[in-house]
């Protein structure tokens, strides 16, 4: 089934899928406040253990993005995930753990 996502106010459909052959959870080396780009050719999933009062941003560029997750002071809000479409950028400002399904 096609995936539908919003990109710059438009709806886009494509047939890339998460969980196809060869994808696996990977612990990756990342830094806070640094933009990363998904160049895998398919969507990926993030699983990020955020510190208190931190965010995750995703966008079509480093100047066109939205906040998709924001934690408060409640420790139960610490684990967060997001789907990153191909060619999109993503970053956070405070993580404890970071894995990607790619």
Integer Cα distance of 86 and 21 in angstroms = 17
Q: How many CB atoms lie within 10 A of CB 45?
A: 16
Q: Where exactly are the structural domains of the chain?
A: 19-101
Residues 20-42 have a mean pLDDT of 91
pLDDT confidence of residue 51:
84
Strands 89-92 and 79-84: unpaired
pLDDT confidence of residue 16:
61
Mean pLDDT taken over the chain: 82
Rounded to the nearest 5 degrees, what angle is found at the Cα of 16, between the Cα atoms of 13 and 19? 135
Please state which CATH class domain 19-101 belongs to: mainly beta
pTM above 0.95, yes or no: no
Residues 46-72 have a mean pLDDT of 90
């Amino acid at each position: 089934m096609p995936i539908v996502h919003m990109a710059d106010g438009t709806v886009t459909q494509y047939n890339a899928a998460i969980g196809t052959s060869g994808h696996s959870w990977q612990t990756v080396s990342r830094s806070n406040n640094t933009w990363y780009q998904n160049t895998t050719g398919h969507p990926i999933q993030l699983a990020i253990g955020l510190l208190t009062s931190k965010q995750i941003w995703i966008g079509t560029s480093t100047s066109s993005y939205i906040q998709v997750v924001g934690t408060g002071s409640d420790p139960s809000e610490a684990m967060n995930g997001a789907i990153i479409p191909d060619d999109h950028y993503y970053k956070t400002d405070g993580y404890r753990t970071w894995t990607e399904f790619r």
